[in-house]
Amino acid sequence: MTRKSISTQGPDIVLFRLMYHAVKPHWRPLVIAFVLLGITAGLNVVPPSLLQWAIDGPIATGNTADLWPITALYGGTAIAMFIIQYIYSYYLQKAGQRALSDMRTNLFNRIMSQDQAFFHRNPVGDLVTRLTSDVDTLSALISTSAVTIVTETATLIVTTIVMFSVNWRLALLVVAVLPVLVVVTNYFSARVRTSSTGERTALARVSAYLNEQLQGIPVLQVFGAQQASTARFDGFNNAYRNALIVLRRHSALFLMIQEFISAIGLAMLLYGGGQGVLSGWATLGMLVAFIQYADRAFQPVLRLSEQYNAVQIAFGAADRIQYTLSEASSINAPDVPIPPTNPFTGDVKLENVHFSYNADKPVLRGINLHIPAGQRVAIVGPTGAGKSSLIGLLARWYDPQQGRILLDDIDIRQLDPLALRGLISVIPQDPVTFEGDIAFNVRLYRDSVPYQTILDAAQTSNAAAFIERMPAQYQSWVTPNGASLSAGERQLLALARAIALQPHGILILDEATSSIDTTTESLVQEALERLFKGRTSIIIAHRLATVRSADRILVVQQGLIVEDGSHSDLIARNGIYAKLYAHQLIDSA
């Protein structure tokens, strides 16, 4: 997936704004770190000064006794720098890692609050990359790059000031090459940034493809598509490798030229400084000190250059994270939401509803429908007719482009989305389970649900039979994606969840019995008969034999309701439903 950067200010500003807002709540340890950093930068220029003092003083005069205080001061400075660097690095890391932890949580919350259209635009692999790899990139920036950048920048500034205060001629020799370094940095910046963006994009494609293929391994194995899948992965992997090689080539060339320019600068200092010593406007000790000053001036530039690649990658990561944090959901709560009716009856109305995922391909066209409270309605029709889209609109996963949907005569856009979804329970064709025990999968993060309610829901849904056969029963562990359960057991567990969490709202079944065995289907149908009593129920089904007992059956075709009536009425009309039903009877015979 490609997209434009959300920022017109450039990725540098995006990164700085993102990090600023992230670390702002943790400013206290940051202030301590920067105070200690200033002290470290000041101490860093003390050793060259002590060296100059020793050479031009005790060594030049032959008074070795005076070397001991200088030596002790030199060692004390080194120890002090070590301790202070450790402390300020600790506080900088403390602030940075807390900020990144908050950022990861905010990013997860933002993703969890998005509408379904967001997930159609953003592959799961990309979102996982933003939550893991991109945040880890910023973590590396703070853990290594930020410490280096801040430290070396402060050292460069303090060293430059000290050099000019000691001898401006020698200082000019040292800084003469800095403009060249700036030009080289600007030249390579665009190339490194472009190759860095290409590398991250290629990695995101690899992650998205891996996520898709690993989830589909059973299908790939059944149809013998492993080699073809591997060959396609090879293409993505090679693209990532090539992007990484380009990035590394640009970075290596950049660092090599930096080293070459630094060597030229040191040669200029040795020649010019030597002339100064012979001419008398510099001392030998001063020249030796300036060699160390030059090292302290050039090393920050080289180390900053070494971090340049990490910073460029961080720019791309920050841009993607900011894009996700800034992308607003199209499904929002009204400023003043209307509370649902109490008691909620489940009366449903759709008035002239038009909906499409893409503007040029309408899915629903002018749907008008009234489902009285407590009615059981089945929706049938060919694949792509718009059946599941009706359910998505009712749960407000999407909003229609035209028309409105009412529950108990309240436009659902006037309800808080959380309150609305508290009135609706959806049991999908492929039920979702989560890693955790059986009880957790029934109550689903709602610790307030009494344990007895979980037991009662399992009994009502007929899930208790298989649960109580498990060694730990309701404390039995469910592995990720429900791999430890059969499809039927997952469906029964989803039914128990619906009973425990939404015992009185609208019940929606989206092909809930299409992929389970006959025995489990009979258990599910028996449980559903209990649930259907006294509540509005909507059943989407391809197997028409499962909807004969519905109060009404709606036939949807090309986004329109083309037939509406009971099973017997529709059979008597000998229309689309009757033909579909007869066709399925022949197939099952």
Q: How far are the Cα atoms of 155, 261, 413, 555 from residue 183, in angstroms, in the given order? A: 21, 11, 57, 70
Helix-helix angle 168-175:226-279, to 10 degrees: 150
519, 467, 526, 527: which is closest to 495 by C-alpha? 527
Q: Alpha-carbon distance 127 to 321, whole Å?
A: 9
Alpha-helical runs (H) found in 132-225: 135-140, 147-166, 168-175, 178-215, 217-222
What stretch of H or E contains 465? helix 464-467
CA-CA distance, 357 to 361, in Å (whole number)?
7
Cα dihedral sign for 523, 526, 530, 535? positive
Q: What are phi and psi of 347, to 5 degrees?
A: -75, 130
Q: Is the dihedral of CA 8, 301, 91, 46 positive or negative?
A: negative
Boundaries of every domain in the chain: 11-326, 338-423+543-589
* Residues whose CB falls within 8 Å of the CB of residue 123, separated by 6 or more in sequence, listed in order: 1, 208, 211, 212
What pairs with residue 437 in β-bridges?
Answer: 477
Residues 6 or more apart in contact with residue 518 via CB below 8 angstroms: none
Cβ 37 vs Cβ 88: under 8 Å:
yes
Q: What are the angstrom distances between the C-alpha of 72 and each of 50, 61, 77?
A: 10, 19, 9
CA 575 to the chain's CA centroid: 49
C-alpha 220/C-alpha 227 separation (Å) is: 9
Tens of pLDDT, residue by residue over 8-29, are: 455 567 667 777 777 778 778 8
Structure tokens at 529: 């008969």
Q: Which among 372, 307, 370, 340 is positioned nearest to 151, based on CA atoms?
A: 307
List of residues 6+ apart from 212 with CB closer than 8 A: 123, 125
d(CA 64, CA 54): 9
pTM of the model: 0.61
Report the pLDDT value the prediction gives residue 63, as an integer from 0 to 100: 76
Burial (0-12, 13-18, 19+ Cβ within 10 Å), 34: middle
Q: Can you give the pLDDT at residue 412?
A: 84
pLDDT value for 173: 85
* pLDDT tens per residue, range 154-181: 888 888 888 888 888 888 888 888 788 7
Report residue 405: phi and psi, to 5°.
Answer: -125, 130
CATH level 3 topology of 11-326: ABC transporter transmembrane region fold (1.20.1560)
| pLDDT for the residue numbered 513 | 60
Q: Which residues contact 356 (CB under 8 A, 6 or more apart)?
A: 362, 363, 364, 401
147: nearest Cα among 19, 278, 303, 314: 303
- Assigned CATH topology for domain 338-423+543-589: Rossmann fold (3.40.50)
**Which residues in the chain show pLDDT less than 50?**
1-8, 589
Q: Look at residue 518 in the predicted model and tell me its pLDDT.
A: 66
The reply to whether 11-326 and 338-423+543-589 are identical in fold is no
